[in-house]
Chain A
Amino acid sequence: AQTVTQSQPEMSVQEAETVTLSCTYDTSENNYYLFWYKQPPSRQMILVIRQEAYKQQNATENRFSVNFQKAAKSFSLKISDSQLGDTAMYFCAFKNSNSGYALNFGKGTSLLVTP
């Protein structure tokens, strides 16, 4: 089974600063996708960004970008110009063709953005 590890249970960043959330994963496959999901206090799961394993170019979505290191099996999320609305739990997730393309989640990182 694939495992996803998020080693930072909690992080804090000041508004307008940049923060990086870490994620490592374990798989023997070559064809997979990686995702970052945001879960604010409302509990709603919101897709932040996704990365295809075959693409070397790192994905970006506005203030969110990833650093995908396939050989190291590392997939970190960088949030630039942090905003108070970024306060949330962030989950790293792995997807392959197993279990109907279900997501395998890490335990999450709680991010607090302070004024």
Chain B
Amino acid sequence: NAGVTQTPKFRILKIGQSMTLQCTQDMNHNYMYWYRQDPGMGLKLIYYSVGAGITDKGEVPNGYNVSRSTTEDFPLRLELAAPSQTSVYFCASASGGLYNEQFFGPGTRLTVL
């Protein structure tokens, strides 16, 4: 049981490049989330999904896109990378509800130069 896995762990992009951050969970969770963590800040919600085929915007969605074609996978797409997207990105999953814990992946450190 691997939990939530993210690839890559580190990445450097040039301004204007695009990339996809991969996220996979093996706990059969319906709910999945993408957060970003800027230096000295808490995590902010980018996008979330409540099940396969359903996604919605969080607090900071500009410059990102997501898809959820399967229960297991929730990739985050960065189009036209900008320095403001330099951050650590966390994927998380949960079975939903107020009580249930969110399980986090190890994070991806992205630098845009």
Chain A positions near chain B (C-beta within 8 angstroms): 1, 4, 9, 31-33, 42-45, 47, 50, 52, 91, 93, 95-97, 99-108
For the complex, give the distance between the alpha carbons of A100 and B92 in Å.
Answer: 12
B95: nearest chain-A partner, CB-CB: A101
Distance (Å) between the CB of A105 and the closest chain B CB? Answer: 3
B30: nearest chain-A partner, CB-CB: A100
Cross-chain pairs A/B with CB under 8 angstroms, 7 sampled: A43-B106, A52-B99, A100-B50, A101-B100, A102-B33, A102-B45, A105-B44
The answer to whether B43 touches A52 (Cβ under 8 A) is no
User: In B79-113, which residues have CB < 8 Å from any A CB?
Assistant: 88, 90, 92, 94, 96-102, 104, 106-107
For the complex, give the distance between the alpha carbons of A91 and B92 in Å.
Answer: 16
Contacts of B31 in A (CB 8 A): 100-101
Q: A43-B88, A99-B45, A100-B49 are in contact. Are A33 and B98 (CB under 8 A)?
A: yes
Contact of B43 among A32, A33, A103 (CB under 8 A): A103
B49: nearest chain-A partner, CB-CB: A100
A39: nearest chain-B partner, CB-CB: B37
How many residues of B are in contact with the other chain, CB < 8 A?
Answer: 29
Distance (Å) between the CB of A7 and the closest chain B CB? Answer: 13
Chain A CB within 10 A, most for which of B41, B90, B102: B102
A interface footprint on B13-48 (CB within 8 Å = 1, 0 otherwise): 000000000000000000101010000111111001
Distance (Å) between the CB of B13 and the closest chain A CB? Answer: 19
The answer to whether B48 touches A99 (Cβ under 8 A) is yes
For the complex, give the distance between the alpha carbons of A102 and B57 in Å.
Answer: 11
Distance (Å) between the CB of A115 and the closest chain B CB? Answer: 26
Chain A CB within 10 A, most for which of B49, B98, B107: B98
For the complex, give the distance between the alpha carbons of A33 and B99 in Å.
Answer: 7
Chain A CB within 10 A, most for which of B43, B45, B50, B107: B43
